[in-house]
Amino acid sequence: AITVDPAAKGAEIDDTMYGVFFEDINRAADGGLYAELVQNRSFEYSTADNTSYTPLTSWTVDGAAQAVNDDGRLNERNRNYLSLGAGSSVTNAGYNTGIRVEQGKRYDFSVWARAESGTTLTVTLQDAAGTLATARQVAVKGGWAKYKATFTATRTSNRGRLAVASSNAAALDMVSLFPRDTYKNQPNGLRKDLAEKIAALRPGFVRFPGGCLVNTGSMEDYSEASGWQRKRSYQWKDTIGPVEQRATNSNFWGYNQSYGLGYYEYFRFSEDVGAMPLPVVPALVTGCGQNKATDDEALLQRHIQDTLDLIEFANGPATSKWGKVRAEMGHPKPFHLTHIGVGNEENLPHEFFARFQKFRAAIEAKYPDITVVSNSGPDDSGTTFDTAWKLNREGDVDMVDEHYYNNPQWFLQNNDRYDSYDRNGPKVFLGEYASQGNAWKNALAEAAFMTGLERNADVVKLASYAPLLANEDYVQWRPDMIWFNNRASWGSANYEVQKLFMNNVGDRVVPSKATTTPDVSGPIAGAVGLSTWATSAAYDDVKVTAADGSTLLSDDFSGDASKWKHVGGGSWSVQDGQYVQTDTAAENTMVTAGDPAWQDYDLHVKATKKSGK
Ligand code: AHR
């Protein structure tokens, strides 16, 4: 039995208690939340980002075309451009299976180009079945200038390609195609279905832009002096201003990040979803196992000044230096920044804290109302964690960011984690947590754990599940809250739990007692597989739904066959975006291995048989 004492007063719960943590992991930004449809639009992909890359990754060439890095470039920070021969063309393959267009919708094309007068660019949208929109012609005249055209899609396709052909020799850069229909119709905007799914959570805050990608790599800038460093920590000044002037970078997670989704867009998105922005800046001690502290005092001071400039960018009047930059980008009013994180998961607590104190002193001297958030390293307990907490407590820090990824059992067994936290010590920002899976049992364990967070809402002031987004064809990390490909997105069971709590934030905890304690000692619910039958077939667009109709897994087979397992023999492979049986075995069972922790749901498989096979 549960007894409730309505007269007793438990902790007050802040409206901002539950938020989201957006990190550009699993291609969450380019090819994800950032609505740009062209991959590698500025020919900046480099082997330093990923050994499989070249400046022409995602492009195919018909005729003469090459990426060039010389003084003819568009600007200093956009190093490469495309030199296209007369009568030649280049075609972009987009992300996942290709460029997604929907019949009747509009798409804005733009390109920076330079060519002799009399040059015509012919721009087409097509897929293997033919054209997807009426071709456009763009007349280019002289030096670098931006040209635009609009397409209206005549058909829906997930496999579109954008081609640009030139009548004469031309230089091209920033080849871009954006859906007109972005979240809240913002320019340089966000993919609507993904942004709407995040908005539906009604997040109290948005923590961004990471995670490991913030606080790893070189702390240098993107300049000739630093040798055009590619593996740089995430530095906000790289990510603002006109997109063609933003430096690209290697992402910690093994790909290129265009920074088209940058700090201005993060602040604007936070505002659009009614959430408090909570940026994290590098602390000059690399985290995520890299264990390197920067001793260069001038570099440290530059980063501290950058952090002060960031606060001015967010909050300063439009007449201030950085407030003016924000106003010029389209937002004269401030973004109301109140919290800022310094550092992420440092394994060197003493080195981190020494530098953190310098950041904090500078921020508090200029902006005493800003809460500067510290952290407790990468673990939920142990020596590093204890040392970090001791330093934070003795240093009278306001708030400490904790992270943990454990199995569902752990979450059930640690519901009381915060019951014993010092009520007079730093507050907790649970910036990242997840039980290890997207199955229902994981979501349930997280829900149980969240009741413990709420019971301790006087100590735990902010909490966000992590990671937020995963593009199913480019996964570095599982589980994730929201999954997507180039045409669809679907929330996990964990998403539904977050949504439930986030949409029902109470004002105050009403203390309650249970007469029995649930047994959480044994393993929870076994997992089951999912299967479907095939004779001789090729499958396209397989979708797995739960009994309530929500999508658990969808696959258009643009990836590799290892996502699927077979029982009963037969040999299958992925060919041209279809899952094809390559021998004549009579029967096969196709079992999803999309999630290593198999789903324990009542599952249904809908497979569309490809015509002609
Ligand atoms: O959320 C994924 C990663 O987990 C984050 O980048 C990092 O902070 C943590 O280790």
**Domains defined along the chain, listed by start:** 20-29+184-514 (3.20.20.80), 59-181 (2.60.120.260), 531-609 (no CATH)
For residues 185 and 35, what is the distance between their CA atoms, to the nearest angstrom?
11
Question: Given pLDDT bands bounded at 50, 70 and 90, which one contains residue 294?
Answer: very high
Ligand 1 atom closest to the Cα of residue 434 is 1
Ligand 1 atom closest to the Cα of residue 287 is 8
pLDDT of res. 561: 61
What does the pLDDT average to over 556-562?
64
Q: How far is the CA of 211 from the centre of ligand 1 (A)?
A: 5
Sequence-distant (6+) residues with CB within 8 A of 51 are: none
What does the pLDDT average to over 358-373?
98
Question: Given pLDDT bands bounded at 50, 70 and 90, which one contains residue 610?
Answer: very low
For residues 102 and 92, what is the distance between their CA atoms, to the nearest angstrom?
18
**Choice from 20, 22, 345 to test ligand 1 binding pocket (greatest atom count within 8 A of CB):** 345
For residues 168 and 424, what is the distance between their CA atoms, to the nearest angstrom?
71
Q: How far is the CA of 260 from the centre of ligand 1 (A)?
A: 22
Q: Name the residue at shortest CA distance from atom 6 of ligand 1.
A: 211
For residues 191 and 123, what is the distance between their CA atoms, to the nearest angstrom?
23
pLDDT of res. 602: 34
Q: Which residues line ligand 1 (CB under 6 A)?
A: 23, 25, 210-212, 288, 344-345, 378, 403, 432, 466-467, 477
Question: Given pLDDT bands bounded at 50, 70 and 90, which one contains residue 239?
Answer: very high
Q: Please state whether beta strands 371-375 and 399-406 pair in parallel, antiparallel, or not at all (unpaired).
A: parallel
Task: Give 49's DSSP letter.
Answer: T
Q: How far is CA 238 from CA 96, 222, 317, 416, in A?
A: 27, 8, 21, 42
Look up residue 357 and give its two tokens: 């104190």
Q: How far is the CA of 543 from the centre of ligand 1 (A)?
A: 29
Task: Give 195's DSSP letter.
Answer: H
Sheet holding 489-491, edge to edge: 469-471, 482-484, 489-491
For residues 364 and 258, what is the distance between their CA atoms, to the nearest angstrom?
32
**Choice from 477, 478, 480, 494 to test ligand 1 binding pocket (greatest atom count within 8 A of CB):** 477
Q: Name the residue at shortest CA distance from atom 4 of ligand 1.
A: 211
Range from 186-190, 327-331, 557-561 carrying the lowest mean pLDDT: 557-561
Beta bridge partners of 280: 341
Look up residue 302 and give its two tokens: 């530059």
Q: Which of 375, 373, 402, 404 is nearest to 391 (CA)?
A: 375
For residues 214 and 221, what is the distance between their CA atoms, to the nearest angstrom?
14
pLDDT of res. 595: 44
Tens-place pLDDT, residues 395-454: 999 999 999 999 999 999 999 999 999 999 999 999 999 999 999 999 999 999 999 999
Q: Name the residue at shortest CA distance from atom 2 of ligand 1.
A: 467
Tens-place pLDDT, residues 118-162: 999 999 999 999 999 999 999 999 999 999 999 999 999 999 999
Q: How many residues does the chain have?
A: 613
- pLDDT higher than threshold 80 for residue 393: yes
- pLDDT higher than threshold 80 for residue 608: no
For residues 376 and 403, what is the distance between their CA atoms, to the nearest angstrom?
8
CA angle in degrees (0–180, nearest 5) for 517-518-521: 115
More reliable by pLDDT, 478 or 522: 478
Q: Which of 247, 234, 354, 207 is nearest to 288 (CA)?
A: 234
Q: Do residues 157 and 131 touch, judged by C-beta distance below 8 A? A: no
Sequence-distant (6+) residues with CB within 8 A of 324 are: 318
Number of Cα atoms under 13 Å in the Cβ half of residue 14? 21
Q: How far is the CA of 169 from the centre of ligand 1 (A)?
A: 46
**Choice from 24, 212, 406 to test ligand 1 binding pocket (greatest atom count within 8 A of CB):** 212
Q: Do residues 374 and 342 touch, judged by C-beta distance below 8 A? A: yes
Task: Give 610's DSSP letter.
Answer: P
Other C-beta atoms lying within 10 Å of the C-beta of residue 117: 9
Q: Name the residue at shortest CA distance from atom 3 of ligand 1.
A: 211
Q: How far is CA 284 from CA 302, 314, 355, 395, in A?
A: 11, 22, 7, 19
DSSP SS3 for 276: strand
Beta bridge partners of 374: 400
Ligand 1 atom closest to the Cα of residue 21 is 1
Look up residue 269 and give its two tokens: 């998105």
What does the pLDDT average to over 584-591?
44
CA angle in degrees (0–180, nearest 5) for 349-350-355: 100
Q: Name the residue at shortest CA distance from atom 7 of ligand 1.
A: 211
Ligand 1 atom closest to the Cα of residue 477 is 2
Look up residue 452 and give its two tokens: 């413990």
For residues 487 and 159, what is the distance between their CA atoms, to the nearest angstrom?
10
pLDDT of res. 586: 37
pLDDT of res. 578: 62
Q: How far is the CA of 300 from the centre of ligand 1 (A)?
A: 23
Look up residue 261 and give its two tokens: 């989704």
Q: Do residues 115 and 168 touch, judged by C-beta distance below 8 A? A: yes
Q: How far is the CA of 215 from the centre of ligand 1 (A)?
A: 11
Q: Is the ipTM of this complex over 0.85?
A: yes
* CA-based radius of gyration for the chain: 26
For residues 403 and 433, what is the distance between their CA atoms, to the nearest angstrom?
6
Backbone angles phi, psi at 22, to 5 degrees: -95, 120
Q: How far is the CA of 24 from the centre of ligand 1 (A)?
A: 10
Give the position of tokens 């602390």: 283
**Choice from 22, 23, 285 to test ligand 1 binding pocket (greatest atom count within 8 A of CB):** 23
Sequence-distant (6+) residues with CB within 8 A of 516 are: none
Backbone angles phi, psi at 388, to 5 degrees: -60, -45
Q: How far is the CA of 149 from the centre of ligand 1 (A)?
A: 40
Q: Which of 289, 269, 293 is nearest to 279 (CA)?
A: 269
Ligand 1 atom closest to the Cα of residue 210 is 6
**Choice from 215, 347, 432 to test ligand 1 binding pocket (greatest atom count within 8 A of CB):** 432
Other C-beta atoms lying within 10 Å of the C-beta of residue 522: 6
Q: Could you give the residue numbers annotated as active site? A: 345
Q: How far is the CA of 234 from the centre of ligand 1 (A)?
A: 14
Question: Given pLDDT bands bounded at 50, 70 and 90, which one contains residue 63?
Answer: very high
Beta bridge partners of 160: 99
Ligand 1 atom closest to the Cα of residue 344 is 8
Range from 456-470, 510-524, 579-593 carrying the lowest mean pLDDT: 579-593
Ligand 1 atom closest to the Cα of residue 213 is 6
Q: How far is the CA of 287 from the centre of ligand 1 (A)?
A: 10
Could you give the percent of the chain with pLDDT greater than 90?
A: 81
Could you give the percent of the chain with pLDDT greater than 70?
A: 84
Q: Name the residue at shortest CA distance from atom 8 of ligand 1.
A: 211
- What is the amino acid identity at position 482? I
Q: Name the residue at shortest CA distance from atom 1 of ligand 1.
A: 467
Mean pLDDT score of the chain: 89
pLDDT of res. 231: 94
- pLDDT higher than threshold 70 for residue 302: yes
Task: Give 34's DSSP letter.
Answer: B
Look up residue 558 and give its two tokens: 């643009």
Ligand 1 atom closest to the Cα of residue 432 is 1
Q: Do residues 373 and 428 touch, judged by C-beta distance below 8 A? A: no
Q: Do residues 133 and 101 touch, judged by C-beta distance below 8 A? A: yes
First-residue to last-residue Cα distance in the chain: 60
Tens-place pLDDT, residues 503-553: 999 999 998 887 766 655 544 433 323 333 333 345 656 665 554 555 656
Give the position of tokens 């002060």: 308
Q: Please state whether beta strands 469-471 and 482-484 pair in parallel, antiparallel, or not at all (unpaired).
A: parallel
